[in-house]
Structure 1
Amino acid sequence: MKLFLYYILAINLYGIFAMYSDKRKSQKGKWRTPENTLFTIASAFGALGIFIGMRLFRHKTKHNKFVIGIPLILVVQLFVFFKYIYKMI
């Protein structure tokens, strides 16, 4: 369980970093992180980090795919996470 929580923390920090990095690359006109990569991070229980990065850096907030998709993934992940925690108790 402890290892899983460390994983959750790490993947979400990575999600925030990925959004920050992609935002900076977009401002400099450099090669960007593919949207599929950002969704893969979100799907690997990093949706909270991606969501925080979206809000913190105002990045991908005009793309409906992100505005709707990331919160939807987050809700599903929270449901799964709390269902798993409840099962452990």
Structure 2
Amino acid sequence: MIYILILINLLTLITFVWDKKLSIKHKRRIPESRLLGLAFIGGTLGAALGMIIFRHKVSKKSFLWKFGFIVLVQVCFIYWFWNISQLRDLI
């Protein structure tokens, strides 16, 4: 499972870097829905690194709100999953 997450995060980071290069060259961009989708399926760390290191999508408020919502959903899911697994251990 950890290898899958590493792969997804690397793919997400590469996609963010690629989109940044396309934006610099004024070429056709990768849709935001694809960038956010990669973050949603587990590439949050790769997306965050791409945003911080390459300063990509950091000035677009609507993207940041959507990304923040994805992070919130993931944190809630991890919290819920952690509590469920703790309950199973008690039974």
- Give the TM interval when normalised to the shorter protein: 0.7 to 0.9
Report what 2:56 is aligned to.
Answer: 59
Contact 1:11 1:45 in 2 (8 A): yes
Q: How many residues align?
A: 86
- CA distance in structure 1 between the aligned counterparts of 2:68 and 2:2, rounded to whole angstroms: 20
Between structure 1 and structure 2, the one with the greater Rg is: 2
Amino acid at match of 2:13: I
Report what 1:11 is aligned to.
Answer: 8
Structure 1 segments, 4+ long, off by >3 Å, are 81-86
- CA distance in structure 2 between the aligned counterparts of 1:72 and 1:52, rounded to whole angstroms: 17
Report what 1:25 is aligned to.
Answer: 22
> How many angstroms does 1:85 deviate by?
5.4
TM-score normalised according to structure 1 size? 0.80
Query: Percent identity between the aligned chains?
Result: 31
- CA distance in structure 2 between the aligned counterparts of 1:51 and 1:68, rounded to whole angstroms: 13
1:3-49 Cα offsets, whole Å, 9 max, x none, are x2111111111111111000001101111101111011011111221
Report what 2:40 is aligned to.
Answer: 43
Report what 1:34 is aligned to.
Answer: 31
Structure 1: gaps spanning 5 or more residues: none
Report what 1:68 is aligned to.
Answer: 65
TM-score normalised according to structure 2 size? 0.78
